[in-house]
Structure 1
């Protein structure tokens, strides 16, 4: 999972600016996906020549993409060492999780109080797909639905500005969540927690919805601490 060889980056993009944007954008997004998914593990060196060949672009284009990722804290650039994937800062993770918990617990209470029936129904459909993904062993599909489930709450309330705050927080936490996802029993546990959240929203019970969301996010925090103990090289204090 944590080697470049395990990253399925798809076929090489066509020349020029296509539907996916410029080649710099495409390289940036592909590198970001590889880092966030864990295909490029912390401390992994980024071979510019390899990525130049992958996207048929100049080294300057790859450097530009890497600099964008460095600005986001996902890559470290050192003159004598080159570019490599940043380790995950534990204190940053704690703060991101604190912010996410505060926002999402508040949001889910508003969902229970005022989300439209159609938006609630869409959450229920998402849950049905989550269950099907678990049954078929589709971890990637389940992960995408898990992420989508949380996005649907801000979208269902038309909270675009709140989403703009949450999105970068979720991006950084995504690295942690993706490493936790393969843990035995985790998808099933996540599904049960999502189902409890959905049930409270559908019942129009803000207090219970907030309790269930807090319990869900607190479990992620506990699992993170256990994962850190097993994989200390991925993190730094």
Structure 2
């Protein structure tokens, strides 16, 4: 029996990401209470936090597994790509000092870690927040409010799918080189665009696996943590602090518009 609410959160999150809990599955608070050995109040704390992080949707008092479409994921990818492009360009314009900070983060050896290891995911967050200008930067705050944490989880798995983060590491090298050589900021922005185009297919494939219930087995991952945001903050379950997403979910009539961005 599990008694810690954080552990309940981690167990449910892993099952959602792996597809063990299929999209649209209704979660019964009473059943979860019996399964994990926690009271209903704590179960609802967990469900509320998962909802705030984008893993669940809520209708009145009912929670169900969020259904993500390719159009929604692509919209988040395009938004995040635009923010990272701006951040990388600013890093080049600001010069070498921030390039050193980015290089220090990128030098961490994450390539030997499995996708299920939390350290790989946290490494990707560190790299991206550094590209955005740091955890306190306005661009990082925008990313935190425009893109839900669940997207970053899927993106982290997609990064691992590109040869254990090789594409992201290559992007960092290109941005650092541009910063140190005084090259045009456009070079750094173009490198970001190329990176996200490369990771896009892996991202959409990961979504297909998750929706089909055949995602990666994340239950054996080490060093699991409650959702850490790109700003470095953690949504502590007893005091949910998920930011209100500035953009609402796509309506069915809006999906067709975004489909034009999808890869062939």
Structure 2 CA distance for aligned equivalents of residues 116 and 157 of structure 1: 18
Picking from 177, 194, 204, the partner of 2:155 is: 177
Q: Which residue number in structure 1 is paired with residue 94 of structure 2?
A: 114
Moved over 6 A (4+): none
Q: Which residue number in structure 2 is paired with residue 192 of structure 1?
A: 170
Structure 2 CA distance for aligned equivalents of residues 71 and 170 of structure 1: 8
Equivalent positions of 1:1-237 (< 5 A) are: 13=4, 26=6, 30=10, 33-34=13-14, 38=18, 41-43=21-23, 46=27, 48=29, 52=33, 57-70=38-51, 73-77=54-58, 83-114=63-94, 117=97, 119-129=98-108, 132-134=109-111, 136-139=112-115, 140=117, 141-156=119-134, 158-159=136-137, 161-168=138-145, 169=147, 171-183=149-161, 185-205=163-183, 206-227=185-206, 233=212
* Post-superposition offset of 1:150: 0.9
Residue pair 2:158, 2:203 contacting (<8 A) in 1 also: yes
Normalising by structure 2, we get a TM-score of 0.62
Residue pair 1:35, 1:175 contacting (<8 A) in 2 also: no
Residue pair 2:85, 2:193 contacting (<8 A) in 1 also: yes
Aligned with 1:88: secondary structure?
Answer: coil
Unaligned runs of 5+ in 2: 214-251, 256-264
Structure 1 CA distance for aligned equivalents of residues 124 and 44 of structure 2: 33
Question: Number of paired residues?
Answer: 209
RMSD: 3.7
Normalising by structure 1, we get a TM-score of 0.68
* Post-superposition offset of 1:179: 3.8
* Post-superposition offset of 1:174: 1.9
Residue deviations 1:182-201 (CA, integer Å, cap 9, x gap): 53625223322332223223
- Normalized per residue, the structure richer in helix is 1
* Post-superposition offset of 1:214: 1.1
Q: Which moved more, 1:193-202 or 1:106-115?
A: 193-202
Residue pair 2:8, 2:36 contacting (<8 A) in 1 also: no
Residue pair 2:161, 2:202 contacting (<8 A) in 1 also: no
Residue pair 2:89, 2:189 contacting (<8 A) in 1 also: yes
